Amino acid sequence: MIEVNNLHKSFTASKQKVKALDGLSFVAKDGEITGILGPNGAGKTTCLRTLYGLLKADEGSAVIDGINVSDRPLEARARLGIFPDKFGLYERLTAYEQIDYFASLHGLHGAAKKEAIEQVIKDLDMQELAHRKTQGFSQGQRMKVTLAQALVHQPKNFVLDEPTRGLDVMSTRVLRNYLAKFKAKGHCILFSSHVMQEVAALCDRVIIVANGKIAAEGTPQELCDLAGEAVLEDAFVKLIGSDEGVAA
């Protein structure tokens, strides 16, 4: 379970203070896919980076399975599977070697590691890619490798920052199916995206973030009802445009 409590974070850019997070709070429960929706610059990536322990909040806390990230970042990260905003690959390593590398970083070794790697390769249907160097991989293939390395240690919590960006339909489907399977196993999934259809189809609960705080929260249907719109996209625009009275 991921809990974010009253997160505040400011940056100073060109002597001007920019408030990226302004008291953001939410809970992503186990066995659910929680979506974070928000316009560009709303604070999604800052929030997720605070969750990884890369940024320190000015105020508030991020807690993963009861572990406060700022107090024990390494323990908290061990419980996370991360699919970051910008994902790159080690292009001189094969896909298998990359997954192996991340499995070892999470402390897996010996037969258990081998089994975990083979399982994730099978689940993502990437046997043909496994022993090829990742240089020249397509966007979909790169996504699969990143997904595999983030999930090889079977993390209880999985955080994805706009994972479907640049993916074709087939690759998006692979990702969706895999997330659905993960959810069924009782894992906690936090998912940030710009694609409304995807969020509507996949997420159990949606958190709409604007100006560093929550603008609205609920199931996709609840959000549509709240905004009085039939489609999530229209609801999103309405909620972002006038959050007055909605968050209450």
**Order of strands across the sheet with 205-210?**
80-83, 157-161, 188-193, 33-37, 205-210, 213-218
| CB of 55 or CB of 95, closer to other proteins | 55
Q: How far is the CB of 57 from other proteins (least distance, A)?
A: 11
Hey, which bits of 29-119 come out as E strands?
33-37, 59-64, 67-68, 80-83
| CB of 56 or CB of 173, closer to other proteins | 56
Q: How far is the CB of 201 from other proteins (least distance, A)?
A: 27
| CB of 65 or CB of 222, closer to other proteins | 65
Question: Do residues 46 and 9 touch, judged by C-beta distance below 8 A?
Answer: yes
| CB of 85 or CB of 118, closer to other proteins | 85
Cα 180 from Cα 1, distance rounded (Å): 17
**CA–centroid distance for 234 within its chain:** 23
Footprint of other proteins (CB under 8 A)? 11, 45, 49, 52-56, 74-75, 77-78, 80, 82, 84-93, 97, 100-102, 104-109, 146
Q: How far is the CB of 90 from other proteins (least distance, A)?
A: 6
Q: How far is the CB of 76 from other proteins (least distance, A)?
A: 8
Q: How far is the CB of 139 from other proteins (least distance, A)?
A: 13
Structure tokens at 139: 């966007």
**Considering only CA atoms, which of 153, 163, 158, 154 is closest in space to residue 64?**
158
| CB of 32 or CB of 161, closer to other proteins | 161
Q: How distant, in Å, are the alpha carbons of 58, 187, 223 from that of 151?
A: 30, 11, 30
